[in-house]
Structure 1
């Protein structure tokens, strides 16, 4: 049977929630997605050219569309998650399984053992976790060992074996780490009461254990058993210290999971906190590589389902930064203030710090990837057609209206290219006129680059507001570069970005890397321009000062300017130093002039 055309396949899709799958001509899975309305969602891929190149490549490869209809959007989300993990499509974010994570097990057996494991065996035992690293597991096991003396042996301690004296107490009994249930030194009832207390601690409930320990300590102290009471007091301190590291603002918040997301051009970072009895009992951050510029809403919904499944989260309430549809059985809270808002902000901080750590590592071990990411982010933030690999920034300097100059600094791949920096003396403008000066230097800069057939920048930044931008645009238009080179202006005070023909400025996030690169450019242009301006002003003052010295001509002046740079340096120089530059006769005239004239 002949394969129906894509248009026919799309037209036959239902207006229902479901999951769609894209296949190439060889029948290989390309992409799995969910939709509230299958026909609308799938159609959107084919009725426009996408901003992301990968999406356009994906669309060109699609030959077959398959779909699965489900009752609700939340069902579609669950199914999408399962299919991605099972099929691992090329254009989907990769979801890992949880095989490598450790668990804490309370073994189903007489005198239950508590230990860590990576394997879940369905024998009725209880498993808590998984935990994201063994450090957390070891800390909890050490806490349990401090509080409750449990056995570590793997003997089969059934009633008959104990009565038959099949086992002997070991070293753990003699050093006080075990009470010897193998020889009936401890009853099953008493032992399992300790296991019940451990179970509550693993669930995040410390109150019962603290209450029981404090009651026991009081009884021992009243009985004059002060050494035993001191041991219990130390256990209380251990438990309270462990709890204090985990306590959140409001201990009434119980059985809640918190999810947050931070993203950039190439990846998203999702953090979740598991809250029980007012304490954080688990925190985990994961990085997701974007494949098709997925939105934060799409990625967070997908990862909530994934993380709840991976970590066996059973809470009925989740806290998130925006609304997500996970079905009627889960309460979704988007807090605006209060304790829950603080917990969400804590989760977001964890995600941000994780992102910063990852980016620092990338910058060290893979600088090219770091650069590519910043360039892609700048292209998106500044709404450019291409990545701004070559950026030039202009700034005028005319302090107190004298010696007007301009500076052009050049960044390549987001970093200063100082060999390409240029200074400009203003030639055609009389007096201080920033607008006319900007028009002149922009024209001179790019007229020369065109004449010499140099590669033009992808982005020009004008340090100034709408006036300077308009002046620069006159030169860009005169050279026929409008549309070939992107140009924006940045206002000095409010970090406003102005675009040609757009009266409304663009404001970037104050912490964004794009704004940091632009600020670095602007600061470099200002520094470079000011340095040149001061140097020129000093030379001008030096020449003016020397014009009245008898016997000093134009050529001698230029020699002195090049060597001493300023009047102050010339006045402080010795006769011998000046003599080494212009000769003894002229040196004496200069020394005599400055000694007899007013400084």
Structure 2
């Protein structure tokens, strides 16, 4: 097997060092194709250029190589960290890439306060206190906080709200808080509730129930029956939560990571276990350009999951996987250094951990089967769409535009993109529409299409095979005029009219052709695809419109006026008593403000009255 003609692999390998480091494979244009690490750079890179024995995916990579750059490191551990940093920076097409989303959610306990607060937390752990998690989703955090609020009644209000109360809030009235803000609970009793909440979050529910049962017996012996009943209800709530757990037995903190592969598709399912309780789970469907087995997938996936910087998950004491990872000792070493404690990666487990691993493996396989079936169905719908539109080839990429506004205010146009794998969210675009008559959807569509396809004509993106316009004949004709004006050819243009009833499944489709438009009779499978694309464009447009509208309403009209900073804004509002009075003031009135000159008053007046 030989690489591309422009790269002399034999000459390069002769002078390559045998020290540890990372290697970057580049194409002919210098773009990074793949980043890897090696204990011995010469030995590892040489394995890509042997004459036989390479997997088809690896041969495809090698055929595109135009150069290789290496960086030597002192240790293999340094190489692993540098590899993950470069993957995140360059996002090479042949590496596994996890979506760099927001950091994982936690529950935060401000235990440095006199009356600590429990709350949702996401981000860098700069605040002093105790963090419990990570949780797999925001919903899991909310469910846990709701249970704690009903059971132990520790406050969850913001500190600013807590400090300024003069009487109990609604949470006290509905028995979700003990009102420490106004002194209706003493500090000792409140700290007891905080301790119980901590025990629950630490996963020691059995010992917590033992403590509560003992306190309930003492309260009964002292004839404090109301307190005993309260403790009885807390114990009942804890038992109910335990009964809802997937697996009740077991202890310890671990993440169970199971991978399943089928052809070019894969699923990695992660169970989050804390204190023997499964807090939740999360499935990933990364692209696997080079991995051919579940073990190879895990070897790339685990470092990506835990070494991604701010958005990475905090690893627990154990990571249980369903395949033997070749570099598990190295990954253990780097992760242990990162978290400052011992960490173990295991693939051979017994007892409860084996049942957790079986559950995760089965879930990964089922999720993968469902995804493969869904993708096959989506590809079939694309084929049917191509036949309906009488295209020579099966369409590979479709786009849809939609317009959203509130009576002409804060108009936003959306463009969503779908291919055979579903939504391509990295290619989504929103356009803030300005300079048109409010409510003129035709002008808004024209502006969005011009901006979108002018950029594509300049090489900043890809043309779709099919373009959907949500708005019927009129919008479709406007889109056809814009595409003709820009010289865009080879795009099938379809208008979507919702119909009189505006019910899903009863849309009318129009195809723009050289002879004029004609109505299409769509099969049900194609209608489902079109509805999915149209609804996504609608959602994306509405979200952008609401964000723009809310931002506008949160922003003072005084902001952005030249010469008006925060200090002058405060003086204007204080002098006139409010924004409405400032807007009603004349130039002479504005000039009466001590720090406002006549010229500045004219500028303010013109800006507020759009002159």
Normalised by the size of structure 2, how large is the TM-score? 0.53
SS, match of residue 286 in structure 2: strand
Alpha carbons of structure 1 residues 323 and 265: separation in structure 2 relative to 1, 3 Å: same
Deviation of 1:227 after TM superposition, in Å, equals 4.2
Aligned-partner Cα distance in 2 for 1:44–1:70: 20
Alpha carbons of structure 1 residues 254 and 118: separation in structure 2 relative to 1, 3 Å: closer
Deviation of 1:32 after TM superposition, in Å, equals 0.7
Alpha carbons of structure 1 residues 340 and 117: separation in structure 2 relative to 1, 3 Å: closer
Aligned-partner Cα distance in 1 for 2:156–2:345: 42
Matched, 1:240 2:220: no
Aligned-partner Cα distance in 1 for 2:383–2:78: 38
SS, match of residue 366 in structure 1: helix
Match of 1:564 in 2: none
Match of 1:319 in 2: 320
How many residues are paired up? 363
Matched, 1:178 2:177: yes
Alpha carbons of structure 1 residues 12 and 202: separation in structure 2 relative to 1, 3 Å: farther
Match of 2:290 in 1: 292
Deviation of 1:101 after TM superposition, in Å, equals 4.5
Deviation of 1:99 after TM superposition, in Å, equals 0.6
Aligned mate of 1:113, from 114, 117, 123: 117
Deviation of 1:92 after TM superposition, in Å, equals 1.6
Q: Could you tell me whether the CA contact under 8 Å between 2:254 and 2:320 is conserved in 1?
A: yes
Q: Could you tell me whether the CA contact under 8 Å between 1:19 and 1:32 is conserved in 2?
A: yes
Matched, 1:16 2:15: no
What is the alpha-carbon root mean square deviation over aligned residues? 3.2
Alpha carbons of structure 1 residues 65 and 177: separation in structure 2 relative to 1, 3 Å: same
Matched, 1:66 2:34: no
Aligned-partner Cα distance in 1 for 2:295–2:63: 26
> Which stretch shifts more, 68-77 or 79-88?
68-77
Match of 1:504 in 2: none
Match of 1:214 in 2: 213
Alpha carbons of structure 1 residues 4 and 58: separation in structure 2 relative to 1, 3 Å: closer
Q: Could you tell me whether the CA contact under 8 Å between 1:81 and 1:302 is conserved in 2?
A: no
SS, match of residue 92 in structure 1: coil
SS, match of residue 347 in structure 1: helix
Alpha carbons of structure 1 residues 196 and 82: separation in structure 2 relative to 1, 3 Å: farther
SS, match of residue 354 in structure 1: helix
Deviation of 1:74 after TM superposition, in Å, equals 5.0
Deviation of 1:100 after TM superposition, in Å, equals 6.2
SS, match of residue 131 in structure 2: strand
Aligned-partner Cα distance in 1 for 2:363–2:174: 42
Deviation of 1:181 after TM superposition, in Å, equals 1.3
Alignment of structure 1 residues 23-172 onto 2, 5 Å: 23-48=26-51, 54-70=57-73, 72-99=75-102, 101-107=104-110, 109-120=113-124, 122-156=126-160, 167-172=166-171
Matched, 1:353 2:354: no
Match of 1:380 in 2: none
Aligned-partner Cα distance in 2 for 1:336–1:184: 51
SS, match of residue 119 in structure 2: strand
Q: Could you tell me whether the CA contact under 8 Å between 1:262 and 1:352 is conserved in 2?
A: yes
Aligned-partner Cα distance in 1 for 2:60–2:277: 47
Post-superposition Cα deviations, 1:112-158, rounded to whole Å, max 9, x if no partner, equal 22222444462224433343333322221121012111224324599
Post-superposition Cα deviations, 1:10-44, rounded to whole Å, max 9, x if no partner, equal 22222333321112233221111123332122112
**Structure 1: gaps of 5 or more residues:** 372-599
Alpha carbons of structure 1 residues 60 and 130: separation in structure 2 relative to 1, 3 Å: same
SS, match of residue 285 in structure 2: strand
SS, match of residue 289 in structure 1: coil
Aligned-partner Cα distance in 2 for 1:293–1:155: 49
Deviation of 1:263 after TM superposition, in Å, equals 0.8
Flag the structure with larger Rg. Answer: 1
Post-superposition Cα deviations, 1:186-224, rounded to whole Å, max 9, x if no partner, equal 234433443333233223221343123212222222233
Q: Could you tell me whether the CA contact under 8 Å between 2:322 and 2:361 is conserved in 1?
A: no
Q: Could you tell me whether the CA contact under 8 Å between 1:101 and 1:118 is conserved in 2?
A: yes
Q: Could you tell me whether the CA contact under 8 Å between 2:9 and 2:49 is conserved in 1?
A: no
Normalised by the size of structure 1, how large is the TM-score? 0.54
Aligned-partner Cα distance in 2 for 1:272–1:200: 24
Q: Could you tell me whether the CA contact under 8 Å between 1:25 and 1:63 is conserved in 2?
A: yes
Aligned-partner Cα distance in 1 for 2:105–2:216: 35
SS, match of residue 127 in structure 1: strand
Matched, 1:281 2:285: no
Matched, 1:224 2:229: no
Aligned-partner Cα distance in 2 for 1:350–1:74: 32
Alpha carbons of structure 1 residues 134 and 357: separation in structure 2 relative to 1, 3 Å: farther
